[in-house]
Structure 1
Amino acid sequence: MKVDILASGSGGNVIAVRSSGNTILVDVGIAKTKIEKRLLEVGIIPGSIDAILITHAHSDHVKGLPLANKYHIPVFATEGEWKSIKGVSEELQNIIVGNMLVSVFDVTPFKVHHDAFEPIGYSIVDKVGDKVSICLDTGKVDSEMIETMKYSNFFIIESNHEPAMLEHCNYPNSVKARILSDIGHLSNKQTGDALAKLVKGMGEKIYLTHLSSSNNMPELAKLTTIRALNKKGLKAGTHYEIEVF
């Protein structure tokens, strides 16, 4: 399995997952032309994509959906999120209804906590048993999410903000409250605590994503997770790899 983060953050999110010559995208939150360019940069022909999986219908996750119509790519989302998704040809629309086989990938959706109709994350397993878990916008990580994401080779998870920075930023109080709520976004500590429950030190790859450009710093996000895993005796570069996007 090969994973490429093509875009991450409030400006847009796109993840490519490849295995055995097959490719699926999770979210397409930047313009179609930018997605095409970034796909080609990592060696993926846009017309070869087998499916697009959507976590939720906020614009930074669905902006590039015209890609689906251009290349006739099936799109999968929950019934709730289809209420907000516009412009996808009817014959390409598919409703996620529990565990599904999408192309060659065994896809298990899991409920996340965000201010959308029916947002989800995904655990995706290929034919040889490699597993990637993708948990983007969520205000908390519960036990069911942990259970679904266990035993992954790749963890792609948001590490959105540092609460002290958020407290002192110029956002309206209503926006701060939303971000900090259980249907907002994960803080660095929440992410580190979740990964401490998940990472076993078997060479897993951790990708921290969806960082706030105003209320976080890449090195701070990374160090918070490293410290959480240090408490378990796990060392970056020895027991796992970590990268920030």
Structure 2
Amino acid sequence: MMRMTVLASGSKGNSTVISSSRTRVLVDAGLSCRELLRRMALAGEDPSTLDAILITHEHQDHIAGLGVLARRLRIPVFFTEPTHRAWVRMLTPRTTMSYAKWLDHVQREKEARAQSVASTPAHDPAVEAASIAHISAEAAALDATLNPTAVIAVDEDAEDPDAALCDPETPQAARQKADPTHLPAVEYFHAGANFCIGDIAITPFTIPHDAADPCGFVFESEGIRMALATDLGYMPPNVKAALKRIDVLLLESNHDLEMLKDGPYPWSVKQRVLSRVGHLSNHATAEFLQKDYDGTAAWIVLGHLSESNNAPELARLAAEQALANHPTLLGNRILLADQATPLEPICL
């Protein structure tokens, strides 16, 4: 038997448990540790039986509770190496300064140099070397100020006020607090290369999304195949090929095109969502189901629905209309994954 339990799906957090009779894997940890444990309890999933955490990509709605949960459960985390490196960079504090502070810093440096030059004979090599060093320091400060990747710092306790529930105060936990990137164990995989966790065979495939190395997955055990494909801007050939002969399919249906265009997001965000590294619309998902889907899934779960730019009824209607054009596919059952509550487990 295999089981898929969607704990949460949406822009505020994503997490799904994939289980065989002997192995349990948590795919993404996009909620706080406390909330993930609460969702698992609601869904009848025992967190102590999890064997690993598997990460699709490093965006916050997929990794928010990762470090705390992995340390709490003392289980390995599976990433691609670029995704792991991106996650570490996100959690590594960098010093920066505002533009006003930088201007003040430059002015003070100029005044100090002027005083130094006034009190030192002309053409003193030491003064010239010091001047060059000051200019280099100013350039580095400006670079740090303008580099958006240099200002990301995450306080796990601030994000999860109940972190103590998940990270008991022990000498080890205290050491880990100083290093939020610490994990009990890390395993790397590569898109396109099969690997196993316990008795679950996993095929990761590259997806088009604006992350370091985003992946979707096909899980297979005991003759059952389940797939997870969300956070993709369009359906490239490799994804279409990966989603063949699937028994349970979790597929993105993020937004309604008209709701997104008329919605509250800034134009820059709308462009990002609509881009080829953004998210699938209801229309794009329906087009895949109508033209490229092979019809083998007993269940299709529509996930990552936008709360601002979609309505569950619209996502369901688009998918049902796509399947209605193929009478042989009408046996496919459609479910909608929710942001606020876990779905009932799907067992095959």
- With normalisation by structure 1, the TM-score equals 0.94
How far apart, in 1, do the equivalents of 2:22 and 2:41 lie? 15
DSSP 3-state at the match of 2:327: coil
Report the residue type matching 1:119 in the other structure.
P
Higher helix share: 2
Determine which of 163, 169, 182 is the counterpart of 2:257.
163
Q: Which one has a bigger Cα radius of gyration? A: 2
CA contact (8 A) 2:70 2:184 kept: no
Q: Which has the higher strand share?
A: 1
Does the C-alpha gap of structure 1 residues 110 and 193 become closer, same or farther in structure 2, counting only changes over 3 Å? same
User: What's the counterpart of residue 218 of structure 2?
Assistant: 123
2:218 pairs with 1:216? no
Q: Deviations over 1:84-130 (max 9, x none)?
A: 2243435511111221011211000000011101101001101x111
> Is the counterpart of residue 205 in structure 1 residue 299 in structure 2?
yes
Q: 1:170 to 1:37 in 2, by over 3 A?
A: closer
Tell me the residue number matched to 2:74: 72
What SS does structure 1 have at the residue aligned with 2:18?
A: strand
Q: Does 1:193 align with 2:287?
A: yes
Percent identity between the two aligned chains: 36
Cα shift readout 1:130-186 (whole Å, capped 9, x = no counterpart): 111100101011111111111010110110001111111121111111100000000
Determine which structure has greater relative contact order: mean sequence separation of CA pairs < 8 Å that are 6+ residues apart, divided by chain length. 2
Question: What SS class does the counterpart of residue 302 from structure 2 fall into?
Answer: strand
Q: Distance in 2 between matches of 1:203 and 1:179?
A: 27
1:67 and 1:174 map into 2 onto residues whose CA distance is 33
| 1:240 maps to 2:240 | no
Query: Which residue does 2:126 correspond to in 1?
Result: none
When the two structures are aligned, how many residues end up with a matched partner? 241
Contact 1:151 1:198 survives alignment (8 Å): no
Amino acid of the residue matched to residue 189 of structure 1?
H
Kindly state the Cα deviation for residue 23 of structure 1 after the two structures are TM-superposed: 0.9
1:12 aligned partner = 13
> What is the one-letter code of the residue matched to 1:93?
V
Q: Measured at CA, do residues 114 and 100 of structure 1 come closer, stay the same or move farther in structure 2, by a change above 3 Å?
A: same
What is the one-letter code of the residue matched to 1:138?
A: L
Say whether 1:230 aligns with 2:320. Answer: no
| Cα displacement (A) at 1:42 | 2.1
Contact 1:51 1:103 in 2 (8 A): no
CA contact (8 A) 1:226 1:235 kept: no
Q: Measure how far apart 1:198 and its partner are.
A: 2.1
For structure 1, list consecutive stretches of 5 or more residues without a partner in the other structure: none
| Counterpart in the other structure of 1:183 | 277
Q: Distance between the aligned counterparts of 1:170 and 1:42, measured in 2?
A: 33
Match of 1:31 in 2: 32
Contact 1:78 1:96 in 2 (8 A): yes
> What is the alpha-carbon distance in structure 1 between the residues aligned to residue 40 and residue 20 of structure 2?
15
Residue 344 of structure 2 is matched in structure 1 by none
Over the aligned positions, Cα root-mean-square deviation in angstroms equals: 1.4
Matches within 5 A, 1:54-133: 54-65=55-66, 66-86=68-88, 87-97=180-190, 98-126=193-221, 128-133=222-227
| TM-score, with length taken from structure 2 | 0.67
Over 3 Å counting, the alpha-carbon distance change for 1:59 and 1:225 in structure 2 is same
